[in-house]
């Protein structure tokens, strides 16, 4: 058999990759299919599964449906040297970088807060050399890395990145397609050490349901070695079974289930509560300087014992109920099951 012709390759290092057969073997040896109760606190989940130097991916999108209770707990426990998949991550990644938890980033869209402006903390960390951007991808390419891993493949072919500087900074390769003779991009799989995904509801075993768009969380849940699911509420398994087609994450993928209402604050949880724009503005203003960042973390992370206390500091039930009302007043999408 003639070897495939490699026409070009990106200069970025290959991180997060392993032989898919080795991943399958690891899963067989380390992940149980027993219907076991996996509920635990955020403190326990981080202590058990997130260690210095790991490759971590956060689910959701930008400022939507992110597990901020786990993000704050990572900071509180002093985890360092993380490599982060900066794909759809925005606020969560920026907070971790501002706190000094991140050493390397695979960047897609990572250093801006969308219409709110650029990320002063992340820019400062990268420009100052504390955090290294090791590869660059498009949002699609980085998500397709998880898709390849979820499919048990070493890579996925695509017709993107070619002819761009993004390709040059990636770890992708361009080969000559043996069928058409035309160039095609090979995007390598990515198997994170840990993924963190926030959902609307889950049972104690980890069967999890997401209302609205899944983004890449279906694939990410199947690509990661360890999966921490945080949920707005833990519901009986019978409730999950009433609408099984909504269960995008089955229990056997999950290692920890953490119940925490408003866990995405100050970000948005679709159909439940809106962005806390005042708090995000405070964060962005303070993190323009290292001193301001320290002030923010002292008040909202180190100065509280857990996320419940954090929610009281940001305004408690009165503030949270206002965010819930704002979300409920928005024009609702129509879902057939509601």
- Tell me the average pLDDT across 221-239: 98
Q: Which of 69-73, 88-92, 304-308 has the lowest mean pLDDT?
A: 88-92
Domain with residue 33: its CATH number is 3.40.1080.10
Q: Is residue 338 part of a domain?
A: no
What's the chain's average pLDDT?
95
Q: Is residue 337 part of a domain?
A: no
Q: Is residue 181 part of a domain?
A: yes
pLDDT > 80? residue 145: yes
% of the chain exceeding 70 in pLDDT: 96
Name the DSSP class of 116: G
Convert 262-285 to b/e letters by CB count within 10 Å (16 or more is b).
Answer: bbbbbbbbbbbbbbbeebbebbbe
Q: Is residue 217 part of a domain?
A: yes
Which two three-digit tokens encode residue 279? Answer: 């708090």
* 211-215 long-range contacts, CB within 8 A, separation 24+: 211/246, 211/270, 211/271, 211/335, 212/65, 212/270, 212/271, 212/333, 212/335, 213/61, 213/270, 214/248, 215/59, 215/60, 215/61, 215/65, 215/88, 215/143
Q: Which domain holds residue 191?
A: 6-329
Q: Is residue 334 part of a domain?
A: no
What is the pairing mode between strands 102-107 and 82-86? parallel
Model confidence at 143, pLDDT cuts 50, 70, 90, reads very high
Alpha-carbon Rg for the chain in angstroms:
20
Residue 43, classified by CB atoms within 10 Å of its CB into exposed (0-12), middle (13-18) or buried (19+), is middle
- Tell me the average pLDDT across 45-60: 97
pTM of the entire structure? 0.95
pLDDT > 90? residue 333: no
User: What domain count does the chain have?
Assistant: 1
């Amino acid at each position: 058999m003639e070897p495939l012709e490699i026409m070009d390759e990106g200069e970025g290092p290959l991180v997060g990759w392993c032989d898919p057969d080795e991943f399958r073997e690891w899963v067989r040896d380390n992940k149980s299919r027993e219907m076991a109760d996996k509920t635990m606190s955020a403190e326990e989940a981080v202590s058990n599964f997130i260690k210095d130097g790991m490759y971590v991916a956060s689910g959701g999108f930008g400022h939507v449906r992110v597990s901020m209770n786990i993000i704050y707990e990572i900071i509180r426990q002093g985890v360092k040297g993380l490599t982060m998949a900066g794909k759809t991550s925005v606020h969560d990644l920026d907070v971790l970088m501002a706190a000094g938890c991140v050493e390397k980033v695979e960047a897609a869209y990572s250093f801006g807060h969308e219409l709110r402006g650029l990320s002063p903390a992340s820019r400062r960390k990268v420009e100052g050399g504390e955090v290294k951007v090791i590869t660059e991808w498009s949002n699609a390419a980085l998500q397709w890395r998880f898709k390849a891993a979820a499919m048990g493949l070493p890579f996925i072919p695509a017709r993107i990145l070619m002819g761009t500087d993004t390709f040059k900074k990636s770890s992708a390769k361009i080969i000559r397609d043996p069928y058409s003779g035309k160039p095609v991009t090979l995007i390598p799989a990515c198997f994170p050490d840990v993924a963190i995904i926030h959902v609307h509801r889950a049972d104690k075993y980890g069967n999890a349901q997401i209302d609205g768009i899944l983004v890449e969380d279906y694939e990410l849940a199947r690509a990661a070695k360890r999966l921490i699911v945080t949920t707005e509420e833990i519901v009986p398994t019978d409730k999950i079974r009433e609408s099984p087609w909504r269960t995008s994450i089955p229990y056997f993928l999950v290692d920890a289930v953490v119940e925490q209402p408003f866990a995405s604050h100050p970000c948005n949880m679709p159909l439940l509560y809106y962005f806390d724009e005042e708090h995000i503005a405070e964060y962005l203003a303070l993190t323009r300087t290292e001193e301001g960042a320290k002030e923010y973390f002292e008040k909202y992370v180190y100065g509280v014992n857990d996320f419940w206390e954090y929610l009281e500091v940001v305004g408690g039930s009165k503030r949270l109920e206002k965010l819930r009302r704002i979300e409920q007043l928005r024009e609702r999408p129509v879902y057939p099951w509601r």
